[in-house]
Amino acid sequence: MAMLKRYEAVIGLEVHAQLLTETKLFCGCSTKFGAQPNTNICPVCMGLPGTLPTLNKRAVEFAIRMGLATNCRINKRSIFARKNYFYPDLPKGYQISQFEEPICENGFVEIETENGSRKIRLKRIHIEEDAGKSIHDQGGFTKVDLNRSGVPLIEIVSEPDIHSTQEASQYLKNLRQLVTYLGICDGNMEEGSLRCDANISIRKKGETALGTRTEIKNMNSFRNVERALEFEINRQIELLEENRTVVQETLLWDADKSEARPMRGKEESHDYRYFPEPDLMPLEISEDWVTEIQSALPELPNARKQRFIEEYQLPEYDAGVLTSEKSIADYYEQALTSTNNYKALSNWVMSEALKIANERKVDFSQFPISAKNLGKLIALVDKQVISGKIAKEVFEDMLNSDDDPENIVKEKNLVQITDASQIKIIVERVLKDNPTQVEQYLNGKEKVFGFFVGQVMKESRGKANPQIVNEILKEKLANLR
């Protein structure tokens, strides 16, 4: 990749986040995802003549939360504007958005890169309404569902400060983490609650002028963002290497074919003729309101990570994984109501539980074992009621039933044997049944010790306390010498 090293990518991202309000931006219709088509609509979001928009206060509050969390200036006064274009799922013929004076400006998000942490500047965050949905694939008509028409969005626009696909991905992950921590968006890219468009150009390293940029749309997962950016960076480098030029255009990412193709038709007239929305007053935000929102901001990812390190004495790595998603951090802290073994809980969550959640592709808030029960399981190990090995078995059971681990242990009679006299009997039997191995051991082949342990555990069906087994075995074998 020697050729790549001479170039630098310059990437700016536009991220749309669907806000978790109950109702739409300008009317009282529900925003619920997955409702029957055209059941959450009214004359306002259908764009019928004579209707007027009234602004949802909570949507504005959510935008301010995001602005504060990303170090933006919150403008005391901002203006709504009409963005004009024709498409059947945009019934008014314009989208109400913000253009010249958005609600938040000049922020930044910090990302971790291989060269340390770096600030990605934000140009602006503005509020706008979503369009409806068009379904093209059946029959001779396009079907239009207006349930999504008017659902509130914020658009977060970065400066072109991103220089690699890894950085883009890291930036997106940070934004996703922030919106979910702030409780303003569910962050689900596959379902479209978080959408990302990219502006990309390349230049030779050391140059300061920007190259011609292209825009890529339709990247609906983290993986697709990385793949699409990689594709486009390589395509532009190849063009320049062949002394050809990059054409400024909009491309659509096709995940199935792994390529970005020029978009046609809809984008032909890139002239949105923005003008101030006469149906809405300028949006005035009082200092008091901003202060109130600021003081009610929830704990943000970095602060929570630091607290996990200090309060629970966790390694930085653990704290990072546990706080990477709000749902995981919440789960961890809920489980602490039934165990106080911070590190053991961290291990269980990071290895066992996260593995299952990833395999099943479920959000941690939907994890089949309740946090309280996982905590109880760990407490059972700590109190030596069951061994670590048995705990894994119980865990498997809990995945299916989310039963209280104490019940499972009792029902299945899995309580650890810590009674030395019982274990002694088993050890004696094992030594008696395996004279050849005993002979080998006594002749100095000490590896055989593990075999005896295994046999004892097998005989006790995994229930013997391994430490006691070790002690008794050593003692008995020493007596044979």
Query: What SS3 class is residue 234?
Result: helix
SS3 category, 170:
helix
Q: How many CA atoms lie within 13 A of 172 on its CB side?
A: 29
Quote the CA–CA distance of 217 and 267 in Å, as a whole number.
12
Q: How far is the CB of 37 from another protein (least distance, A)?
A: 5
Nearest distance, CB of residue 153 and another protein, angstroms: 15
Q: Between residues 276 and 320, which has the closer beta carbon with respect to another protein?
A: 276
Shortest Å, Cβ 190 to another protein: 22
Strand pairing report for 104-113 and 194-204: unpaired
Q: In the bound complex, what is the minimum distance in angstroms from residue 361's beta carbon to another protein?
A: 30
Please state the closest distance from residue 288 (CB atom) to another protein, in A.
14
Nearer to another protein, 27 or 200 (CB): 27
Nearer residue to another protein within complex by CB, 111 or 285: 285
Nearest distance from residue 313's CB to another protein, in Å? 41
Give the nearer residue to another protein in terms of CB position, either 277 or 397: 277
Smallest separation (angstroms) from another protein to the CB of 268? 10
- Residue count (the chain): 481
Which of 184/409 has CB closer to another protein?
184
For another protein, which is the closer residue by CB, 84 or 306? 84
- Kindly tell me which of 61 and 167 has the beta carbon lying closer to another protein: 61
**How wide is the angle at C-alpha 426 spanned by C-alphas 423 and 431, nearest 5°?**
125
Q: Which residue has the tokens 């309740």?
A: 370
Residue 176 beta carbon to another protein: minimum distance, rounded to whole angstroms: 23
Question: Can you read off the two tokens belonging to residue 237?
Answer: 């480098």
Tokens found for residue 273: 């003729």
Compute the chain's Rg from CA coordinates.
Answer: 30
Residue 220 · residue 257 · CB < 8 Å? no
Based on CB atoms, which residue is closest to another protein, 54 or 351?
Answer: 54
Residues at the contact surface with another protein, assessed by CB under 8 A: 21-23, 27-30, 36-44, 46, 54-60, 79, 84, 86-88, 134-136, 140-146, 265, 269, 271, 273, 276, 278, 280-284
Which CB sits closer to another protein, 17 or 233?
A: 17
End-to-end alpha carbon distance in the chain: 65
Smallest separation (angstroms) from another protein to the CB of 106 = 21
- Decide whether 278 or 444 has the Cβ nearer to another protein: 278
Per-residue CA distances from 103 to 92, 130, 196 (Å): 23, 17, 20
Q: CA 220, 168, 81 angle in degrees (round to 5)?
A: 70
Residue whose C-alpha is closest to residue 72's, from 49, 105, 43? 105
Check if the beta carbon of residue 27 is closer than 8 Å to that of residue 152.
Answer: no
Q: Name the 3-class secondary structure at 388.
A: helix
What DSSP assignment string belongs to 403-452? --HHHHHHHTT---B--HHHHHHHHHHHHHH-HHHHHHHHTT-TTHHHHH
Q: How far apart are the C-alpha atoms of 329 and 332, rounded to whole Å?
A: 5
Alpha-carbon gap, residue 426 to 433, rounded angstroms = 11
How distant, in Å, are the alpha carbons of 58, 174, 185, 406 from that of 180?
Answer: 16, 10, 6, 34
Closer CB to another protein, 59 or 233, in the complex: 59
CB of 28 to another protein, least distance (A): 3
Shorter beta-carbon distance to another protein: residue 55 or 350: 55
How many CB atoms are closer than 10 A to CB 49? Answer: 6
- Residue 283 Cβ vs another protein, minimum distance, rounded to whole Å: 5
Q: Give how far the C-alpha of residue 126 lies from the chain's centroid of Cα atoms, to the nearest Å.
A: 22
What are the Cα distances from residue 297, in Å, to 11, 64, 307, 332, 408?
A: 30, 10, 16, 21, 41
CB of 257 to another protein, least distance (A): 12
